[in-house]
A = this chain, B = another copy of it.
Amino acid sequence: MVKIGDVAREAGVSVATVSRTLNGQSSVDPQLASRVREAAARLGYRPNGVARNLRRKATDLLALIIADVANPFFTAITRGVEDVARSRGFSVLLCNSDEDPGKESTYLRVAEQQRVAGVILSPHRDGSDIGDLRRAGVPTVIVDRPLTEPVDSVMVRSREGARAATDHLIDAGWRRPACITGPEDAWTAQERLEGYLSAVREHGEMDELWVRGPFRQQGGTSGAARLLDAPKPPDALLVANAQMALGVLEEVRRRGLRVGIDIGLITFDEAPWTSFVEPPMSVVAQPAYDIGAQAAQLLMDRIAGSAPAEPRHLQLSTMLVVRASSRRQAPR
């Protein structure tokens, strides 16, 4: 492996000059500079990033710690993070925590040990301990779920989205909208439920119909089943996430209910399939890519030191996308 000294010898200069040249310092004689560059090219020199990082006491690595990159919501966040990171010369370490506090803290430790320049974290259910990170002075941005610690964050106005979706269901003529949300310890589940409740309460004379379940397909299936088995079942459903929505769809079809006629449907998350099911599914779209991009931006500012001392909290809005599943057609 050729190192800086080899290049220096080849070019007949000192290592300092090689270093300066390759790091684009202006104070190098153009003549020498080109001799250095030629020598480096001739020898196929590749600077050792590890040594450089050690000396500079800084890396150009970002850690992205999320539940699961296979969840389309996080996939989009990941893409957003990676795009702005790359544009600023940073690379991203991908960490799937699977909502497992153990894996999460392992990754947090890895991030700290590898001296990453910053961390973007979607904390698990029960809150996460980023105390070590903060003590170590590692810039951090929280996404999707809040943390009590005073750090930068990027969130989505879930509650407002749920509320708008519920209002829409009612406006469309559905009389008994219900909500299928996530587990109690999931903040986003709570937010979405509250959005639903506030809409229903405001309309008055409407029953509050809701159930919880895991944020997975099966959670949707069983949630729908429980609601539909009730003596006075709902006639429309707001589902808190796309994976659950697939389960709901399954259950609804199993019962022979016609979406848009017998039952109205709307779900959180613009998954790739939503506009291709029959009928197309209305959604509360979350700006997932932007969450990632903005979080990365915040982080870069923080790393560059060009951020205010106090933490900044970004709140992105959802977008209501109305398709056929939530429009009420008269039964034939």
Contacts and interface: CB of A to CB of B under 8 A. Distances in A.
A119 interface: no
A112 B273 contact: no
Interface residues of A, number: 49
Interface stretch (A8-16, A29-37, A45-53, A195-203): A45-53
B46 A69 contact: no
A59 interface: yes
Nearest to A112: B46
Tell me the number of copies of this protein.
Answer: 2
Contacts of A49: 110, 113-115
A317 interface: no
Given A135-B44, A273-B272, A69 B82 contact: yes
A96 interface: yes
Counting chain B CB atoms within 10 Å of each CB, the highest count among A47, A54, A277 belongs to A54
Interface in A76-117: 76, 78-79, 82-83, 86, 91-96, 103, 109-110, 112-115
15 contacts: A46-B132, A48-B54, A48-B113, A49-B110, A50-B53, A50-B114, A69-B78, A70-B79, A72-B272, A93-B93, A94-B94, A271-B273, A273-B276, A276-B277, A278-B278
Interface of A: 1, 44, 46-51, 53-54, 59, 61, 64, 68-70, 72, 75-76, 78-79, 82-83, 86, 91-96, 103, 109-110, 112-115, 132, 135-136, 246, 249-250, 271-273, 276-278
Given A49-B110, A50-B50, A272-B272, 15 more contacts: A1-B136, A44-B132, A46-B109, A46-B113, A48-B115, A54-B54, A64-B94, A72-B272, A79-B96, A82-B94, A91-B93, A91-B95, A92-B93, A271-B273, A273-B273
